DNA sequence: CTGCTATAATAGAATTATTCTAAATTAGTA
DNA sequence: TACTAATTTAGAATAATTCTATTATAGCAG
């Protein structure tokens, strides 16, 4: 937590109480929350908070490379404070998104005809399935 | 094209002129159009068409496994009439989505702790980068 | 400390993507 | 040819996100 605060010191990023609350919620969070999830959590400590604050903060964090946007769910965006390269799996029944920690990098070579046309900046693998809970 | 028409014969899927126009547009289309792209194309032949027709048809095709939804773009859904397993790369500048035909299936093994909790139904790899045109 | 200013918070309007509704139309078939 | 279930349509509704204008404040300079 102290880490986080120091990370943003003197970067033109103001550490407001609202932002601290969001940062605390996101710190080590592996639930891949949506903007609404963050908003709900934030309302507990800041009942009068605005949705715009959530989007503003999310955007500021994204711009600073401290938060990544997950595209696995066709319905809505999820966010992930873990910016290390990793992958995800979503249960198509309950929509929960879980982490997949595996290094596929050496296998994910692009075919010649694509690699010659793109300066590649990254990749991720999305898996889909049904989780144990949803089968019982 | 004849193929397409036969594919839907007698399945409770009515081949209306609007749908035929959409099917013709999608047939062999590798541009990964959004709903709006389909709508614009459809308006050329059917100027009074409604957006709901596009979404209805897209949904009907998706339900029949004839169209897949692409999640690579955080801004909007793209659609792909190629339902064979393959992957994609998006230019983060111009947002164009291109195909990546490569078989990574053998490499994409899930870690034990995930595979034991999920009945996996599929996966795809999303690549990001800047295309040649956007660099010049 | 105090005051300044750039940055952020807020409410609410606006925009965009998508879904829903209810009435009119029509493809496919009996 | 006539019927009916499926489809089209316009427009309203919903949901996610962005924008705008005003007010408040974090962090810094003096
Ligand atoms: Mn994650
Ligand atoms: Mn494709
Ligand atoms: Zn589940
Ligand atoms: Zn490009």
Binned at pLDDT 50, 70 and 90, residue A124 comes out as very high
Count interface pairs A-B at CB distance under 8 A: 113
Residue B12 has pLDDT above 90, yes or no: no
Q: Mark yes or no for CB contact B127/A125 under 8 Å.
A: no
More confident residue, B11 or A129: A129
CATH code of residue A52: 1.10.10.10
CB A70 within 8 A of CB B126: no
- Same domain for B22 and B49, yes or no, is yes
Query: What are residue B126's DSSP bridge partners?
Result: A124, B88
A50: the nucleotide nearest its CA (via C1') is C10
Between helices B35-45 and B51-63, what is the axis angle to 10°? Answer: 120
* Percent of chain B with pLDDT strictly greater than 90: 85
pLDDT in tens, A28-52: 999 999 999 999 999 999 999 999 9
A112 lies within 8 A of chain B by CB: no
**Quick check: helix, strand or coil at residue A6?**
helix
A53: the nucleotide nearest its CA (via C1') is C9
CA distances from A120 to A104, B49, B91 (A): 15, 39, 9
- Same domain for B91 and B122, yes or no, is yes
- C-alpha–C-alpha distance, residues B90 and B102, integer Å: 16
Q: Taking phi first (over 0 means left), then psi (-120 to 50 degrees means alpha), and beta for anything else, what does residue B78 get?
A: beta
CB B129 within 8 A of CB A74: no
Q: What are phi and psi of B24, to 5 degrees?
A: -65, -40
- Same domain for A67 and A88, yes or no, is no
Who contacts B130 (Cβ-Cβ below 8 Å, separation ≥6)?
Answer: A118, A119, A121, B91, B92, B93
CATH code of residue B130: 3.30.1490.190
- Same domain for A55 and A89, yes or no, is no
Binned at pLDDT 50, 70 and 90, residue A108 comes out as very high
> Among the three residues B35, B57, B79, which one is the final residue of a domain in this structure?
B79
What are the respective helix, strand and coil percentages of chain B, to the nearest 5? Answer: 35, 20, 45
Contacts of A131 in chain B (CB under 8 A): 117-118
Who contacts A66 (Cβ-Cβ below 8 Å, separation ≥6)?
Answer: A7, A81, A83
Counting the structural domains of chain B, the total is 2
Which residue, chain included where needed, has tokens 């209805």? B56
Q: Which residues form the domain of A106?
A: 84-135
Distance, CA of B51 to C1' of D20, in Å? 29
- Same domain for B20 and B41, yes or no, is yes
> Among the three residues B79, B101, B125, which one is the final residue of a domain in this structure?
B79
Between helices B35-45 and B17-26, what is the axis angle to 10°? Answer: 120
Facing residue for B110 by CB, picked from A91, A100, A122: A100
Binned at pLDDT 50, 70 and 90, residue B111 comes out as very high
Question: How far is ligand 4, taken at its centre, from the CA of residue A69, in Å?
Answer: 20
- Same domain for B11 and B65, yes or no, is yes
- Same domain for B9 and B50, yes or no, is yes
- Pull the structure tokens for residue A62: 């994204």
- Same domain for A38 and A71, yes or no, is yes
Distance, CA of A7 to C1' of C6, in Å? 20
Contacts of B71 in chain A (CB under 8 A): 71-74, 126
- Same domain for A13 and A28, yes or no, is yes
- Same domain for A92 and A73, yes or no, is no
A62 lies within 8 A of chain B by CB: no
Most distant CA pair in chain A: distance in Å? 54
Residue B8 to chain A, least CA–CA distance (Å): 26
- Same domain for A58 and A100, yes or no, is no
More confident residue, B3 or A24: A24
C-alpha R_g of chain B:
17
> Among the three residues B79, B98, B119, which one is the final residue of a domain in this structure?
B79
- Same domain for B63 and B7, yes or no, is yes
pLDDT in tens, B75-88: 889 999 999 999 99
Mean pLDDT of B73-100: 95
A14: the nucleotide nearest its CA (via C1') is D26
């Amino acid at each position: 937590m102290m880490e986080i605060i120091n990370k943003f010191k003197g970067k033109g990023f103001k550490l407001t109480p609202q932002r601290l609350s969001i940062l605390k919620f996101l710190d080590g969070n592996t639930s891949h929350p949506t903007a609404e999830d963050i908003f709900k959590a934030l309302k507990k400590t800041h009942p009068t908070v605005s949705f715009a604050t959530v989007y503003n903060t999310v955007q500021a964090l994204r711009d600073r490379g401290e938060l990544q946007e997950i595209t696995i769910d066709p319905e809505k965006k999820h966010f992930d404070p873990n910016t290390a390269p990793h992958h995800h799996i979503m249960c198509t029944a309950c929509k929960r998104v879980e982490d997949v920690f595996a290094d596929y990098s050496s296998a994910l070579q692009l075919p010649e005809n694509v690699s010659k046309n793109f300066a590649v900046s990254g990749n991720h693998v999305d898996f889909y399935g049904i989780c144990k809970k949803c089968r019982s």
